[in-house]
Structure 1
Amino acid sequence: MTAARIRIAPSVLNADFGRLTEEVLALEAAGADAIHWDVMDGRFVPNLTIGPDVIASVRPHTSLPFEAHLMVDEPAGSLHRWVEAGCALVTVHAEACTHLHRTLGAIADLDARVGVALNPGTPPQAVSQVLGLLDHVLVMTVNPGYGGQRYLAEMEAKTSHLRRELDRSDRTIRLEVDGGISAETIMRARGAGARSFVAGSAIIRHPDGYTAGIAELRQAAGEGTSAPEDVAAA
């Protein structure tokens, strides 16, 4: 059986926000599979980034899927804003939702793909009771809030646990990792079971440009070897 292609979703957190559309177009040309928008509210995490109007302004200029990673407290009241901005996938943090099941159901009601993210200190069992609602699980391999952090290898055990649990599910649920992904760490994350990778600095700050950065990640991940998961959907 032909192996599935891994999915690379560059984060634009460290891109040039003064020319954000051009940055996204450059990432598309470089071979990105999606654009990962790190949305931070200055409360759930100490950083403050962008709102839905910024994402909406870029949406008409690219065909790449957009994923909104909401690092915000109690995101339920604003979910529609991210879908209206053009995000096919909306991911909320389990730790940020008082009523996680209800919040995930609200994303599904908006006809968006449903994602949940787990901070490093959150056990994998936090998603066990909501698997029937999920399309996407995101394991944070850094503490969220800033780009350029060191990859936390101890999160590989959590990723492996989730890989086994997701494989037993009757749904196709993508497993993604985010934080410290580079040519030095991506194979470890893939070996733990991830097939989708958020990468920021390894692409945005690559000395030879975005195309080289994405190609280097694919090569380092051993793309073309066994990877029994479909990662094509947004």
Structure 2
Amino acid sequence: MSRAIRIEPSILSADFVNMESELQRIATADAVHVDVMDNHFVPNLTFGPQMVKRVQAVSPVPLDVHLMITDADRWAPGYAELGAFSVTFHAEAATDPLALAAALRERGSRAGIALKPGTPADEVIAHLDAYDQVLVMTVEPGFGGQGFMDDMLDKIAVVRAAIDAAGTDTWLQVDGGISTSTIARAYAAGADTFVAGSSVYGADDPVAAIASLRDAAHA
């Protein structure tokens, strides 16, 4: 396989008190995954636009903002206006995903759509040209450190087959339980963009951890 391998450490596993230095520790990553949670869509609370704006100002790599919030139609465009490279909203939280994706692109961000483990991919793969990224959650969203759900591999494969058939340049991202022991299975199923939290920030050397993930994807 010759697909790209993109590694995006999640700052959900970083030290929030020392965020600027934590971002510098992952300068070899392809992007930083920024989890925005509102304690409504998921049972956890992280931060909002002000924090994302500051992360944007000091990050050495692009921001991939993952919105785990209700009323995505209202709030997601504002994150694109902050300059985020990519903004991903949940299919379950948007009333008009196609219009929202278009609004994100109009504001200069890549448009991503995320699927919880229990959400089928049918509606998303029917409109792949509308999305720059599809995120298949490989854990239930809300908390880091969960185990990879192998039963999501079939969904990843379905989305990959649809992307290849459509001929779109849509990235296929997975988030949840990604480590050197799971990334190869996700890559083999079709993913090309990998969110890794504790496996990077829990390591003594995040740069080495990022390199190990890249290598392990081909294993």
Alignment TM class, shorter chain as reference: over 0.9
Q: TM-score, structure 2 length as denominator?
A: 0.95
What's 2:65 paired with? 68
Give yes or no for the alignment of 1:107 onto 2:104.
yes
Which amino acid in structure 1 is aligned with residue 42 of structure 2?
A: V
CA RMSD, aligned part only?
A: 1.5
> Which contiguous aligned blocks of 4+ residues in structure 1 show a shift greater than 6 angstroms?
none
CA offsets per residue over residues 51-83 of structure 1, 9 Å max, x none? 111121122323411111001111121223212
Q: Which runs of 5+ in 2 are unaligned?
A: none
Q: TM-score, structure 1 length as denominator?
A: 0.89
Q: 3-state SS of the aligned residue for 1:216?
A: helix
Using the TM superposition, name which of 70-79 and 185-194 deviates more: 70-79
Alpha-carbon distance between aligned partners in 2 of 1:219 and 1:170, rounded to the nearest angstrom? 27
Give yes or no for the alignment of 1:220 onto 2:216.
yes
Alpha-carbon distance between aligned partners in 2 of 1:85 and 1:108, rounded to the nearest angstrom? 13
What's 2:15 paired with? 16
> Structure 1 residue 211: deviation in Å?
1.4
> Structure 1 residue 4: deviation in Å?
4.6
Considering Cα pairs closer than 8 Å and 6+ residues apart, tell me whether 1 or 2 has the greater RCO. 1
> Structure 1 residue 132: deviation in Å?
2.0
CA offsets per residue over residues 134-167 of structure 1, 9 Å max, x none? 1100000000000000100000000000000011
Structure 1 130/4 Cα, relative in aligned 2: closer, same or farther at 3 Å? closer
Q: Which runs of 5+ in 1 are unaligned?
A: 224-234
CA contact (8 A) 1:176 1:195 kept: yes
Q: Percent identity?
A: 43
Count of aligned positions: 219
Alpha-carbon distance between aligned partners in 2 of 1:45 and 1:67, rounded to the nearest angstrom? 19
